[in-house]
Amino acid sequence: MRYSWIDGYLMSKRGVTRDLQAEWNWIRYHIGGKMFAAILLDDRDRPYYINLKLDPLEGETARRQYPDIVPGYYSNKRHWNSVKTDGDVPDDVLKSWLDSSYRLVLAGFGKQKQREFLGISVCGTDCSACALWSGMCKGCNESCGKVFHVPGGKPCPIYACCAGRYRLATCASCDNLPCNIWQATRDPSMTDEQFQKSVEDRAATLKDCARGSWQGWENGP
């Protein structure tokens, strides 16, 4: 198979799990228990197709452009597509299709579930990396934004705006990222430089997640 990078690329996406469906001899990749990609193996365990999900119009366009992508093998042929593993589809094009498949399947879940699978809060913070997580604080997703440092039992202003007012999965869906609420909600222990770096890092994390191409985290559960 020419796409030797594919397993590492898929497993580095946040929240992805992998199994082998022995009956079909497929290596399957899931987000939230739902498959978004698979490597199909023959009876000698050699890959012959890569299955992925695309918007029907995008799939039709891809099949017209590249002869090495066909309607999904043993799959719903309207939504699924099979890429030949020894074909000529460029690596960057295949990566973009895999990103699209990941996004499509993730988008099928509710907003809170999406955040849980990604392991981030609405503002791009990985709460599990905080020393207070699971002790003093359960995390933004679990507490619906009512974290320990916000007075009066109210939700964090960023959470209240994103999840409460606009019903978004994360601030990545907002055209104003990062907005004035981000700038007003800060850890007072940070210097101006540290806070600005935090804003830039969290915004970049959310944008990468929105593209389905985040490659920097460890795998989720």
What are 125-147's pLDDT values in tens digits?
888 888 888 777 888 888 888 88
State whether 15 and 101 are in the same domain.
Answer: yes
112 assigned to some structural domain: no
- Structure tokens of 178? 């990062």
Dig out the tokens for 19 from the structure.
């199994």
Same domain for 77 and 138?
Answer: no
pTM value is 0.79
> Looking only at Cα atoms, what is the longest distance across the chain?
63
Residue-wise pLDDT for 159-176, tens only, equals 999 999 999 889 988 888
Is 41 a residue whose pLDDT tops 90? Answer: yes
Provide the residue range defining the domain that includes 204.
124-211
Statement to judge: residues 14 and 90 lie in one domain: yes
Angle between helix axes 91-107 and 192-211 (nearest 10 degrees) is 90
Rounded CA gap, 77 and 73, in Å?
8
Regarding whether 99 and 14 lie in a shared domain, the answer is yes
Q: Which of 4-13, 16-25, 91-100, 124-133 has the lowest mean pLDDT?
A: 124-133
Residue 158 counted as domain residue: yes
Of 76, 107, 138, the domain-final residue:
107
In angstroms, the CA 196 to CA 106 distance is 30
Same domain, 168 and 79: no
Provide the domain count of the chain: 2
Residues 85, 64: Cα–Cα separation, whole Å: 18
CATH code of residue 51: 3.90.1150.30
What's the pLDDT score for residue 140?
A: 87
* Number of Cβ atoms within 10 Å of the Cβ of 202: 23
97 close to 62: Cβ distance less than 8 angstroms:
yes
Asked if 19 and 98 sit in the same domain, the reply is: yes
